[in-house]
Amino acid sequence: MRRTSSILKKHRSGERVYVPSDSRDNQYILAEIPLTDNLIDLVCGGIDKTADKPYQKFYQAFSHKVFDIVEDHGLSHVNFVANNRLVRVRYSGEQQVLHTEQQSFFFYCPEHNSTFKGYFDGAVRARKVKILFLATGQELRVNSGKFHYKVYQAIKDISKKIGLAENEIKLRDHQHLTFDIFAKEKGDTNSVSHTFREIADRYESQNQSISKDHTSIAYVVASIPMARRLLKGADIDYLSNEPFTKLYQKIESAFNNACNANQINQAAMIANGVSPFVRYDEDETTNVAGELISIGVNPNNAETRFCVHWEADQLVDTLRFVFFADKSDETHHNYGKFVNQAIAAVRAFSDEVNWKKESDDIIVRVHQHIMLNV
């Protein structure tokens, strides 16, 4: 019995991930509501299409209703977004919102930022309304179930008071942990451990059960700056129309070697200047549109899948490696082993390209998402 227990303990220890103590935790929940004619009628009884900004009153009335309701539920950091942009959330000590053509970046610190704010153009009818709930306080992961439950109740209240049909709102719970995998090499010897337990199971352990009719995904993104050392040793012909072909072939080879050595069989290398966003999709389609690349993931499909995107005439600022978890990567209801494999793959890549770990960062972000209808 003692031997069996020892083996189990050793096995489970491989599922524990040690990350720097200054790693940054974020949780945010998006409630997405299609902007239909019926929604407009329910909120404000119609619009005047002859007006310069026909949707201004609708957005104002809807956001006012939303902010009143969420405040009653004790939520303090909520944004109303109807601008046809992809919402991104990042940690920052300085609260600010930046917009590109296709993305809205919300930078905030969970410990001391809070606001109610709307982002819309009254002259434009958005495809959907997004209500962005940002988790606040300390110990976000410990309190993630309580935050989810509070938001869920607020969304149900919004749906009821407006008069929406059941399951008309999509609720997307996003959680990610961000850190430099070479923090230890830079002198930060303190660490904390995570197992990255599957969200629904973690909530269950926090006495916050959620509907079994949900989808979930987990993945890891490594952001690697195009440092000068990556260019060294590569045959770059600056007089060619495609000068960086051999550079990217070298990087792709190192990426493939790192994945193979660490049993990673679903991953993507993005080096064409676009930003990846990952979503649940049973068909696993990939689509490049403007500044974004949408990557569909089906966790129930364990087949080997590698996507590589680079342009030989373009030197990007940042390489992004994306590692996708499937159901086989979930062991004992957690993704710790998978995250350790992804981190090991990034480290193996850095060794092959002679990365200067004591001075240059490679930022890793571990993502866990869950989606359900309300």
Q: How far apart are CA 332 and CA 19, in angstroms?
A: 20
Q: Are 35 and 121 in contact (CB under 8 A)?
A: no
**Angle, nearest 10°, between helix axes 144-162 and 56-72?**
130
Contact 246, 235 (CB under 8 A): yes
pLDDT for the residue 2: 40
What type of residue sits at position 316?
A: V
Q: Going by C-beta distance under 8 Å and a sequence separation of 6 or more, which residues neighbour residue 98?
A: 104, 105, 107
Give the Cα separation of 218 and 220 in Å (integer): 7
* Strand segments (E) across 109-214: 116-120, 128-134, 170-180, 191-194
Which residue stretches of 100-198 are H helix?
144-162
Q: What gap in Å lies between CA 21 and CA 118, rounded to an integer?
A: 34
Distance CA 365, CA 323 (A): 11
Residue 222's CB is within 10 A of a number of other CB atoms, namely: 24
The bridge status of strand 170-180 relative to strand 96-99 is unpaired
Instruction: List average pLDDT for each run of 10 residues in the chain, which is 374 residues long.
Output: 42 78 94 98 94 97 98 96 97 93 95 90 98 94 94 98 96 97 94 92 89 93 94 88 95 97 96 94 93 95 93 96 94 90 98 94 97 96
* Cα distances (angstroms) measured from residue 286 to each of 12, 108, 213, 301: 35, 30, 25, 15
- Return d(Cα 29, Cα 174) in angstroms, integer: 6
Cα 358 to chain centroid distance, Å, stands at 27
- Token pair, residue 39, equals 């929604």
Question: Could you tell me if 319 and 271 are in contact, meaning their C-beta atoms sit under 8 angstroms apart?
Answer: yes
Alpha-carbon distance 213 to 347, whole Å?
37
Which residues touch 10 (CB under 8 Å, ≥6 apart)?
A: none
Quick one: which of 43, 73, 65 has its CA closest to 55?
43
Q: What does the angle CA 70 – CA 177 – CA 308 come to, to the nearest 5 degrees?
A: 115
Total length of the chain: 374
Looking at residue 12, its pLDDT comes to 55
Q: What is the pLDDT of residue 113?
A: 77
